[in-house]
Amino acid sequence: MSKSFNTPDKVIYVCTGSKCKKKGGKDLSKLFRGMIKEMGLKGQVEIVKTDCTDRCDYAPVVCLQPANAWMPQVNEIKAREAFQQHILGASPDIK
């Protein structure tokens, strides 16, 4: 008999291909993990580090599911805003 397989409600895919990794992809996955832990969402939200997504001109690239939100040139500020909007469901600030 196999073990049960838990499926998270939401997934954050972080490209860690060579260009994305050099431009902060690895640090972004650590940042998202920290936010998940801080908000008590472990098991509900999962981080998946991917190989190259073939979007190198837009490095680093992040995709948030199930919203299918692809984000180019993500930095810490954009990552925090995306987490608030797509993971926590907060409305984006109107500027």
Give the pLDDT confidence of 28-53 residue by residue, as tens digits. 999 999 999 999 999 999 999 999 99
Q: Is residue 3 part of a domain?
A: no
Q: Measured in Å, how far apart are the chain's first and last C-alpha atoms?
A: 54
Q: pLDDT tens for residues 62-85?
A: 999 999 999 999 999 999 999 999
Structure-token match 């397989």, residue found: 5
Domain membership flag for residue 51: yes
Q: Which pLDDT score, from 0 to 100, does residue 12 have?
A: 98
What is the tally of structural domains in the chain? 1
Is residue 45 in a domain?
A: yes
Q: What is the CATH number of the domain that holds 14?
A: 3.40.30.10
Which residue range(s) make up the domain with 34? 10-87
Q: Is residue 82 part of a domain?
A: yes
The alpha carbon of 33 is separated from its chain's Cα centroid by a whole number of angstroms, namely 9
- Report the pLDDT value the prediction gives residue 94, as an integer from 0 to 100: 42
Does pLDDT of 95 surpass 50?
no
Region 49-63: mean pLDDT is 96
